[in-house]
Structure 1
Amino acid sequence: MANRFRDSARQLMRDAVLDIAAEEVIAHGWDGLQVRAVANRAGVSRQTVYNAFGDKHGVAEALIERLLDRFLEGIDAAIAGESALREQWEATVRFALETAATEPLLAAVLTGTSSDEFLPLLTTDGGPVITRARDHVCATLGGYHPDIDPRALTATSETVTRLTISHIVLPLHTPQKVAAHIADLAATVAPAPAAAGV
């Protein structure tokens, strides 16, 4: 019981610190984020923040990880709203792009001084984000379409993830157009199995 209470309290503290850190980054950029100010607003010591996240870079990683959690929850809902595989691919990409366009923390991540710290977490050091998103999308779609070749589904999920992140970082077209194009490519690489008797 004591361990569960301690773990719950620690998670509440982490969530509070990340909420405040996100507000600070949105308002002042990454360079304007002061761990002392975050700790004061959260009602904890600066050392407590460092113990929880390691350092300021650890805070950035945790912010990206939590943002990814929210994206994946929304993607699951988008996939559940469609039945055909191609439309599920399209819904996945469209949700990610539309959400990215209106997410203030992500806007802060991709612009200004914050980009120096955060952008590599999505690009050159983005392996953990890509891998987690790939595996999650692959598992979700595989649950709906168990007859798809899992190797093709994994490879396609990674390609879709990489393309989607690329369009988030450098948007050139509407989310609808990009989603339709990526869905067409995905449906070609990992098509849904033909129904029996077709």
Structure 2
Amino acid sequence: MARRAREDLRAEALDVAEQMVVSDGPRALSMRELATRTGVSRQTLYSEFGDRAGVASALVLRATDGFLSRMEAALVGADDLYAAWSATVGAALSEAGENPLVKALLTGEAELFGADSGPMVDAAVERAVVNLARHWPDLDPADVALAAETATRLTVSHVVLPRHPPDVVAEQVATVVVRILRRG
């Protein structure tokens, strides 16, 4: 029961911290204000997160995990490579459009947070490689790595500077990925 209460407190504190960051920017995140808004003591927050940087790290990890889980579910939800990649890119663009923290992390707007898109991009590439290899074991591992890296970077590029509607981008990226994976 104590573990559940601790998990609930952590989730609530992160929800409040995310609201603070999204509405007022990363500099607005203070342990004092977070404690007040969460209804706990600062010491409780320090015990749970360490310090402001610990809260920021927890926010980044949670946002990254949610982003990657949504992409992963889309990737493994289709048997056809084109459909899988189109759905994956669509999911990534939707998550970035719906979640201001994810968008800030991908575009570098969260730089004041001490975070950049590098770890999120690396994790997305890694998960894509693992899932592609698991669901399509006949694909060349070097091609899988190239396709995952290319798709991820093209998707992030669209988040940073959208040039076409998300569905068009999803189709374009899926076309590139399938051509890489089916070459030779």
Q: TM-score range with shorter-chain normalisation? A: 0.7 to 0.9
Deviation (angstroms), 1:22:
0.8
The amino acid that maps onto 1:183 is: A
Q: 1:127-174 CA deviation, whole Å, 9 max, x = no partner?
A: x22222112122222222111122321232122222222221222221
Q: 2:58 aligns with which of 42, 49, 62?
A: 62
* Range 48-57 or range 152-161, more displaced: 48-57
Which of 1 and 2 has higher RCO (CA within 8 Å, sep 6+)?
1
Query: Are residues 92 and 119 of structure 1, via their aligned partners in 2, closer, same or farther at CA, if it must alter by over 3 Å?
Result: farther
| Aligned AA (2:167) | Q
RMSD: 2.7
Give the equivalent residue in structure 2 for 1:11.
7
Aligned to 1:141: 132
Q: Which residues of 2 match residues 174-185 of structure 1 at below 5 A?
A: 174-185=165-176
Number of residue-to-residue matches in the alignment: 183
Provide the rounded CA distance (Å) in 2 between the counterparts of 1:138 and 1:110: 20
Q: Secondary structure at the match of 1:121?
A: coil
Cα distance in 2 for residues equivalent to 1:69 and 1:115: 17
> 3-state SS of the aligned residue for 2:58?
helix
Cα 1:132/1:43, change in 2 over 3 Å: same
Instruction: Note the residue ranges of structure 1 that are not aligned, 5 or more in a row.
Output: 194-198
The answer on 1:191 being equivalent to 2:182 is yes
8 Å Cα contact 1:109/1:118 also seen in 2 = no
1:53-132 mapped onto 2 (5 Å cutoff): 53-106=49-102, 115-118=110-113, 120-122=115-117, 126=118, 128-132=119-123
Counterpart in 2 of 1:196? Answer: none
TM-score by length of 1: 0.77
- 1:102-147 per-residue CA deviation (whole Å, 9 max, x = no partner) reads 2233456679xx644248421xxx2x22222112122222222111
Asked if structure 2 preserves the Cα contact closer than 8 Å seen for 1:96 and 1:164, the reply is yes
Query: What are structure 2's unaligned runs of at least 5 residues?
Result: none
Q: Percentage identity across aligned positions?
A: 39
